[in-house]
Amino acid sequence: MRLSTTTTTIAFVFASSCLATALPSSFSSSPHAASSSVVEEKRSTDQEILTALAGTYTLVNTSSTLHDLPIPDEPYGAHPVGVLIYTASGYMSATITATEPFLRPNLTFPYQASDSDADWALVGKHSVGYAGPLRINPDIPASETEGQVFHGPLTVANVPTWVGAEHRRNYTVVEREEEGKSVKYLEIGSERGGGYRGILWWKRVD
Ligand SMILES: *[C@@H]1O[C@H](CO)[C@@H](O)[C@H](O)[C@H]1NC(C)=O
Ligand SMILES: *[C@@H]1O[C@H](CO)[C@@H](O)[C@H](O)[C@H]1NC(C)=O
Ligand SMILES: *[C@@H]1O[C@H](CO)[C@@H](O)[C@H](O)[C@H]1NC(C)=O
C-alpha cells in the first residue's frame, strides 16, 4: 500500500483591520499592524494521517520505565508476540501475549472442568486483547509520522475496566532500509500513570 503524501495547506490570514480593533493602541501604531500577514503552515488532515498509519503490524519489542528508570515488563514477559491493526476508516485492534510457558500454560478453549483457575489466571495476567475506534488527538500537532492517537472508547477488551476507556498513544513512524527494502516501524509510547511508561516497537507487515 502506498502512503498518501498529499498535504493540505492552511493559510491563516490576519486582516490588519481586525487586529487594529482587537489590540491596544500602542500595537496599532507599529508598522506591522498596518499590513496583513499570511502564515502558511503545512498540515495533514486526520484522514490523511489515518490513511498513512493504516496497516498490520507485528510486535518487535517492548520496554517499560518507572520515573524514567528501566523496569522489567512483567505482564508481557521477555518475548511477547502481538499484532496491531489500524484501519484508514478509524478502527484499531491490538493483541499481545507473553510466550514463556511458565507465564502461559498450554490451555485449550473452551476451558475444561479439569483446568485449574490458577493456570487461567496466568493466561489472563499475561495477555491483552482489545479493539475499538481510532482517532487523532486534535490537541497535539500531528503529522503522518508523529503525533498522538486515542485507542477507544474501546468496545471490547479482555481487561474489564478497559471497555469504554480511551488510551492515549504517541506514535512515531520510522522508515529503515533493510536488505535493500524499505521497512516501516511504528514506535508507540504510552503513559500508564503513576510514572509508568511503556514503549512498544511494531514492524509493518501489510
Ligand atoms: C526495539 O526494536 C526497534 C526496531 O528494530 C529498535 O530500534 C529498538 O532499539 C529496540 N528496542 C529495544 C529496547 O530493544
Ligand atoms: C499444547 O496443547 C496442544 C493441544 O492439546 C498440543 O497439540 C501441543 O502439543 C501442546 N504443546 C505443548 C508445548 O505442550
Ligand atoms: C507523548 O507525547 C506528549 C506530547 O508531545 C509528551 O508530553 C509525552 O511525554 C509523551 N509520552 C510518551 C510516553 O512518549
What does the pLDDT read at residue 11?
36
What does the pLDDT read at residue 31?
42
Sequence letter at residue 174: V
**Residue 105: CA count within 13 A, CB half-sphere:** 15
Query: Across all residues in the chain, what is the average pLDDT?
Result: 85
> Average pLDDT of 176-183?
95
Q: Could you give the percent of the chain with pLDDT greater than 90?
A: 76
> Average pLDDT of 20-32?
39
Question: 60: Cβ below 6 Å to ligand 1?
Answer: yes
Give residues with Cβ within 8 angstroms of 108, minimum separation 6.
none
Sequence letter at residue 192: R
The topology under which CATH files domain 7-204 is: Lipocalin (2.40.128)
What does the pLDDT read at residue 151?
97
Sort strands 8-14 and 156-157 into parallel, antiparallel or unpaired.
Answer: unpaired
What does the pLDDT read at residue 132?
98
Residue owning the nearest CA to atom 2 of ligand 2: 106
What does the pLDDT read at residue 38?
57
Are the beta carbons of 163 and 156 closer than 8 angstroms?
Answer: yes
Question: 199: Cβ below 6 Å to ligand 1?
Answer: no
Residue from 175, 166, 127, 128 nearest 148 by CA = 166
Are the beta carbons of 99 and 77 closer than 8 angstroms?
Answer: yes
